[in-house]
Amino acid sequence: MSSDPAPYAPKKILITGAAGFIASHVTRRLIKDYPDYSIVALDKLDYCSNLKNIAACRGSPNFKFVKGDIACADLVNHLLIAEDIDTIMHFAAQTHVDNSFGNSFEFTTNNIYGTHVLLEACKVTKKIKRFIHVSTDEVYGETDMETDIGNPEASQLLPTNPYSATKAGAEMLVMAYHRSYGLPIITTRGNNVYGPNQYPEKLIPKFILLALKGEQLPIHGDGSNVRSFLYCEDVAEAFDVILHKGAIGHVYNIGTKKERRVLDVAEDICNLYGLDPEKSISYVQDRPFNDHRYFLDDQKLKMLGWQESTPWEAGLKMTMEWYTKNPDWWDDISAALHPHPRLSMISHSNDDSWISQKGLVSDAKEAGKSDGSSGLKFLIYGKTGWIGGLLGKLCKDGGIPFEYGQGRLEDRMSILKDIKKVNPTHVFNAAGVTGRPNVDWCESHKVETIRTNVGGTLTLADVCKEHDLLMMNFATGCIFEYDQDHQEGSGIGFKEEDKPNFTGSFYSKTKAMVEELLREYENVCTLRVRMPISSDLSNPRNFITKITRYSKVVNIPNSMTVLDELLPISIEMAKRNCRGIWNFTNPGVVSHNEILEMYRDYIDPEFKWMNFDLEEQAKVIVAPRSNNELDAIKLKNEFPEMLSIKESILEHVFKPNRKT
C-alpha cells in the first residue's frame, strides 16, 4: 500500500491575475478538468491582461470573475469570506524586466505590497488551506555559463534587477508568514514560459508579431544570453500537480534542461516564416543588466510526477499559428514591440470599485485612501493663470504641500529667494504669455513675449538645474502644422523628437525656440499642451467655451488636452521623475464640429453654428493658427488608462455638465 499522502482537494480557489498569461491557462485547465471546484478569478485588467484569455470560462457554473486589485485589503478580505475561499493561487504581478528599469515603484507596489495584503488577509480570516505563491527563476540571479548543475530550491536568492528583487522580497514575506503564523504556503519558481495569449512585450510573441509584419527582430546585446523555455500547457499541468501534491512549506522549481540562446530563438522564428536571419535580425542596446543564464534543477517537481511533454519545435509552431490567427487579440501593441518598452502603468488605487461577473459587488471609495504625497513639496509658478490655479487646487485636494512662486521668472534673484523659502522637491512652471485675449496680442508685444516665454523660462530652468530640481514645464504643441509627412486625417502625428515646423505666430515662434533650448537641460520635463479643455464651461480660456462663442468656426481635426484628466497625470509624472519632451494630449484628434455636436447634444439642443475655411478665418485674425495631430503614444505607454480625446471630452466635460 502506498505511503504517499492523499492528494489535496480544494473546494474554492481564488486565482489572482487570472486574465494574465500563465494564470489564464491554469484557470481554463482547472475549470475544464475539475468541475467540482469553484474558481474565483481576480484581476485588475492591467495592460497585459485580457478578458478574452478566460472568455471560455465565463459560461461555466463554477466560475466567477471579479475585477479588482490585490492591493485593496477590503476587497481581498471580502472575497475570502464571502466566497468561502480555501485556496489561493497567487499569479498577479508585474513581470516584464524592461518595465522594471523604467518604473520600479510599480513593481514594489504590485509584487510586494499586493502579496503582503493577501498574506495579511489569510492571517486574519484563518480560512486558507493552501497558498501557492508564484515566483520566478530570476530570484536566483545569474547561473554560471559553464555549469551543468541547475539551481536547486535551497539556493541563495541573488536578484539582479528591480523585477526579480521585488519577487524575492515577496518570497521573504511569504516565508515569514509561513513561519510566524503557520500559513500553508507553497512557492514556485519557474523558467520562461511561452505560448498563446502572452502579451507581446515578451520575447517570443514579440518576435513572432514582428516577423508577421515583416519588421526586424531586435536582440538585446549580442544575443548570447541563454534562456530555458517551457510551453504554457506544460506549465499549467505543473501547477495542477503542485496544487494537488505539493507539500506545505516547500519550494518547487518549474524548469527544463532544454536551453536556447536568444539569437537561436530569433533564428528559429525567422526559419518558420521563411525569413533570412541575416537580414531580419538587428542588434540593439542591451538592458542595464541582463543575466546571461537561468538554469534550474527540476528534479523535485519531477518526483511528484510532472514531466515536460511539449518539444520546443512543436510548441513554437503552435504559438506561431495562434498569433497568426489572432493578430488583434490586444488593441494597440505598437509600444510593446519596441526593443525597450517602458509600459509604466497608472496604478489601480484602492478606491476602485469591484466589478464581478454579475455586476457591482461593492464600492471601496473610503478604503485605504492615501495621498501618496509623503516627502513632496511643489513650487508652482502661474498662480493667476488657468493651469497654475488648477494645479494648486489638485495639490490642495490631494494633500500635497505647495506654494506659489512670488518672483517673476525673468528675475533670477526672486526665483532664488522663492526656492530658499519654499525648499521644494519639484517646480512646476505654468507661467507664460499666451496673449490677451488670444495669441494675436503677442504680434504687437514681442519684447514682452520674449521676456517671459524665452528668458523667464530659461532662467527658471537654469536655477532649478543649479539646485538639482526637476522642473515640470507646461509648454505648447502649437508649434506644428500639418505637412506632407503628417497630413490631416492620416493618423500620423508629430512625435516628441520632431522639430517644430509652424512659425505662423510670434507666440509659437517663442515657444518653439525655448523648447529647443530646454533640450539641453536634463532636469526639465516639457509637456506640450494643445487647445486645453476643462469641465468648467464658463472659463473663457476653455477651448470649448471659445468656439461656442464664435460666430463662425473652422472645422479641422486637432490634438487637444483635457485638463481634468491630464493635469493629475502631470503630478504623477513629477513623482515618477519623468524628463524630456512629452506630447501632453489625449490620444487621437477631434474636430471643431465634433465638439460642437457634443455641445448641442449634451448642453444646448438649440445651439447652431456656421463654418468657414482658413482663407475666411485669415481675414479676422492677425496671426495664423496651428492645426496638427501630436502622436501621444509615449504618454499612453506611461499611462495606459488615459482616454482618447473624444472619450475624455465626453467623460470629463459633457456628461458632468449635461443639461439636455
* Separation CA 214–CA 196 (nearest Å): 20
CB atoms within 10 A of CB 6: 8
Instruction: Say which residues have a Cβ less than 8 Å from residue 3's Cβ, sequence separation at least 6.
Output: none
Let me know if 550 is a catalytic residue: no
Reference 518, options 462, 451, 569, 470; nearest CA is 462
- Reduced to 3 states (helix: H, G, I; strand: E, B; else coil), residue 600 is helix
Residue 255, CB-side half-sphere exposure with 13 Å CA sphere? 26
Residue 329: which of 90, 577, 19, 104 has the closest Cα? Answer: 19
Is-contact 563 539, C-beta < 8 A?
no
- Judge contact between 33 and 59, C-beta under 8 A: no
**Annotated catalytic residue: which of 43, 69, 74, 137?**
137
Residue 448: what residue type?
E
Listed in sequence order, the residues at least 6 apart from 445 whose beta carbon sits closer than 8 Å to its beta carbon are 433
Cell of 292: 546571461
What is residue 583's three-state secondary structure? strand
8 Å CB contact between 336 and 200:
yes
State residue 169 phi and psi, 5-degree precision: -60, -40
Say whether 163 is catalytic: yes
- Among 127, 151, 157, residue whose Cα is nearest residue 255: 151
Q: How far apart are CA 297 and CA 352, in angstroms?
A: 42
Q: Which of 163, 177, 323, 404 is catalytic?
A: 163
The closest of 391, 394, 398, 352 to 373, measured between CA atoms, is 398
Is the four-CA dihedral 317, 319, 320, 322 of positive or negative sign?
positive
> Which run of H or of E encompasses 135?
strand 130-136
Task: Quote the DSSP letter at residue 651.
Answer: I
Of 573, 524, 558, 544, whose CA–CA distance to 391 is shortest? 573
Q: Which residue from 594, 632, 627 is spatially nearest to 487, judged by alpha carbons?
A: 627
C-alpha distances (whole Å) from 348 to each of 25, 110, 114, 167, 388 are: 24, 10, 11, 20, 27
Closest CA to 262 of 204, 215, 309: 204
Q: How many residues does the chain have?
A: 660
| Locus of grid cell 523667464 | 456
Cell 521623475 identifies what position?
577
Catalytic residue (choose from 74, 86, 138, 267): 138
Among the listed residues 78, 64, 71, 74, the one whose alpha carbon sits nearest the alpha carbon of residue 46: 71
Q: Where would I find the H helices in 423-486?
A: 440-443, 446-450, 457-466
User: Would you call 650 helix, strand, or coil by DSSP?
Assistant: helix
Give dist(CA 456, CA 511) in Å, integer: 12
* Alpha carbon distance 506, 502 (integer Å): 10
Residues with a catalytic annotation lie at: 137-138, 163
